[in-house]
Structure 1
């Protein structure tokens, strides 16, 4: 209470201007109040107005002991909101480095995912050996994601990003200069090889999804993820366009196709080295709060706390269903069906898939605006659900142009849930659990996607090929995913929606 009494004796400088005019003492403004009888005031009487006393000054001293006990129980891993820069930027330089690093990787994946098959065929490997190498690459990615989930926050996210970028560079060098199958299998296992130019299931994703929310203002998290995926899509498409460089070099410079492909993998290795440099340029702010906190907190830290496990595991289970459904209609399967069903030329298919990729990429910024208006969950469900209904109509169309039209409409909606679901997974957990949550969800999608092409082949290898069963099954499973997602999580609160 003594502190409260001291607080009430406010200096004159804190008075409203109107009261200061009434204060006089020996010609100055501190002391007796003019107009009050002398018997009602002492010589040292101070004037104060209760309206000038902050509420916290009255409450906090009274609850001082209780407040101190409460603050002592709060962990030292509180969320830090990055300050707005001098130029008003809502994302920090670390966030830009993360996006730039993914642009370079996806550009490399854009041509390497195609050229791996060309290179292995040139080396005389059989289809079984190629399938084995891709399976080994998938298993390696899953194990690396598990490692990141468990240890990245303790060892340091920047260190892990640099290490995996160097492994990416070594993998590129192995494919560029080695002809030994064992060496290539090791490169596929450790080298973060990604067999797709439109999606990425590598350990980089788990760490970058955990870092991005720390690099932007809270109200712009979805914008950050939208740009993260938008530029990745465009970079993957640009990388795919460079697949023809070996043929161009052969035509104009006389370089053999094999040497041209090896040069492209040397470029892939260079991209890995540049990615490592970008990771080194990131600041300490990208690290987990666990690593920056006291050692006692790091020792007791668990990647995923008990209260978060239920939501993350339920969400990952639904992601498995969605990823398996999406894997039934990957570009290879769609191209095969259009070719067999309508006899579509390769040039027409190329234009179709370029248009589909462009429509998907341009829809991502719209997803950020919708999420701010309607919330993350509603944006995920009510953009993804119509896209699956459009997918169900594709195999029912009698002509190529109608089928292509519905496919393009479907692609303009189907990717809008990508940034929103990534943000949603991060918002379900606390900041120090984000690496684990991103790792688990990425691993779940990676495993499910790997099983889909085989199932799609079985669905196409029968007399009902003309019905396009992969499209129907994929649309049905994805519709079920949307309905279950909304039913299970519509009452789960997240900070961004509140």
Structure 2
């Protein structure tokens, strides 16, 4: 089962990797501006947050496999919807109810279900390593997706077709990937269908812990929403007049570095603990984020972004592992949802704000504000949870 979940994670991340870069280009090709791009990104995050919350809180009532199949169908409908609808208001609605992800991370209805399933397939000692593999595959696949985004320019030149048509075909591919995910989910063990392997329960005993973490993660998510990949790409397009191919290459390498950092995070966590790993790798990454807009050349800006990528995502597998560790097994799906939803809900307003900032000034104010907010989150997390170790760290 773990292998199938990792395979689906890779497919979804690949789709998210190229769509997050092509989304602003597609909307601009349809005649929209930075504010509209920000609003669409906000709608995707807000809608994903609502769906993720509902799924996590009520997943214990239903078949996990059935919910994953429905999510795959929704992903397919989202891709086809963006491919064949060209007006702002309908696209905004599709973005709100669909699975489109404007960021390089996993912000989706799939997340709480997959996290709960994974946690029941491994023990405490191997849990962090399993989440690291999950994050590693996701990050590498997203990196190749970002690299693939540049292919649309070559297709335009080779086939002599207009850019909008090629971009629409990329969204059709996104929908087809959703179908492929559904086929893989169908092969999950029957125990998942009947709920025998993965017991579930509503959030009760772990409610206070989950809500406290959700509040902290919401702060981090708000900062992260200011620099979702679609808007970071838009800033690079505006500031340095990059081509899609060059931007795709940059995000490919940031993804590769992030992926490599997941494996390093496991070793660091074994030495200093999950919470310390989350904080002491995240802090320097956010300081670098604040400094990026002050770089006068593309080379320095990219250098800081690359170094940041090698540090900023080490908290992803450790955060997921930590949440699953300190809540009861029956409440994992609900806890995963409640703590993951801020990745969508709190960050939903941020892209709209970032879009406004970028329309008012080419200076990277979203990066500065994002770094400051995320530094605050790091310090609060350290103070509030340093004395709450997971079971494997208890002497």
Query: How high is the TM-score relative to the length of structure 2?
Result: 0.86
1:358 aligns with 2:267: no
1:384 aligns with 2:267: no
Of 208, 212, 215, 1:310 maps to: 208
1:279 aligns with 2:185: yes
Change (3 A) 1:348 1:277: closer
Compute the RMSD of aligned alpha carbons. Answer: 3.2
Instruction: Report deviation, 1:202.
Output: 1.0
Of 304, 320, 327, 1:422 maps to: 320
What does the per-residue CA deviation read over 1:228-270, in whole Å, with 9 as the maximum and x for residues that have no partner?
Answer: 1111112122222333444433433344444433332222222
1:147 aligns with 2:54: yes
Quote the residue 1:497 is aligned against.
393
Quote the residue 1:71 is aligned against.
none
What does the per-residue CA deviation read over 1:370-426, in whole Å, with 9 as the maximum and x for residues that have no partner?
Answer: 112222112111211232233344455566544543332222111111110011111
What does the per-residue CA deviation read over 1:72-100, in whole Å, with 9 as the maximum and x for residues that have no partner?
Answer: xxxxxxxxxxxxxxxxxxxxxx1111111
Quote the residue 1:37 is aligned against.
none
Quote the residue 1:202 is aligned against.
108
User: Do the aligned residues in 2 keep the contact of 1:153 with 1:290 (CA within 8 Å)?
Assistant: no
1:445 aligns with 2:343: yes
Instruction: Report deviation, 1:458.
Output: 6.1
- Whole-Å separation in 2 of the counterparts to 1:114 and 1:331: 7
Highest relative contact order (Cα 8 Å, sep 6+), 1 or 2? 2
- Whole-Å separation in 1 of the counterparts to 2:217 and 2:38: 25
- Whole-Å separation in 2 of the counterparts to 1:204 and 1:158: 11
Quote the residue 1:413 is aligned against.
311
User: Do the aligned residues in 2 keep the contact of 1:384 with 1:417 (CA within 8 Å)?
Assistant: yes
SS in 2 for 1:175: helix
- Whole-Å separation in 2 of the counterparts to 1:410 and 1:195: 19
Quote the residue 2:70 is aligned against.
163
Where does the alignment leave 5 or more consecutive residues of structure 2 unmatched?
A: none
Query: How high is the TM-score relative to the length of structure 1?
Result: 0.69
- Whole-Å separation in 2 of the counterparts to 1:426 and 1:142: 19
Structure holding more helix per residue = 2
Structure possessing the higher radius of gyration over alpha carbons = 1
Instruction: Report deviation, 1:136.
Output: 3.8
Number of matched pairs = 393
SS in 1 for 2:349: helix
SS in 1 for 2:100: coil
Of 16, 20, 26, 1:109 maps to: 16
Where does the alignment leave 5 or more consecutive residues of structure 1 unmatched?
A: 1-93
Counting only pairs closer than 5 Å after superposition, residues 341-352 of structure 1 correspond to structure 2 as 343=240, 346=243, 351-352=249-250
SS in 2 for 1:282: coil
Quote the residue 1:191 is aligned against.
98
Quote the residue 2:330 is aligned against.
432
- Whole-Å separation in 2 of the counterparts to 1:179 and 1:337: 24
Counting only pairs closer than 5 Å after superposition, residues 89-108 of structure 1 correspond to structure 2 as 94-108=1-15
1:176 aligns with 2:74: no
User: Do the aligned residues in 1 keep the contact of 2:68 with 2:182 (CA within 8 Å)?
Assistant: yes
- Whole-Å separation in 2 of the counterparts to 1:194 and 1:339: 20
Counting only pairs closer than 5 Å after superposition, residues 51-66 of structure 1 correspond to structure 2 as none
Change (3 A) 1:139 1:406: closer
What does the per-residue CA deviation read over 1:187-245, in whole Å, with 9 as the maximum and x for residues that have no partner?
Answer: 4343312223x112111011111111112243211111111111111212222233344
Of 154, 170, 175, 1:264 maps to: 170
Instruction: Report deviation, 1:126.
Output: 7.0
Change (3 A) 1:325 1:240: same
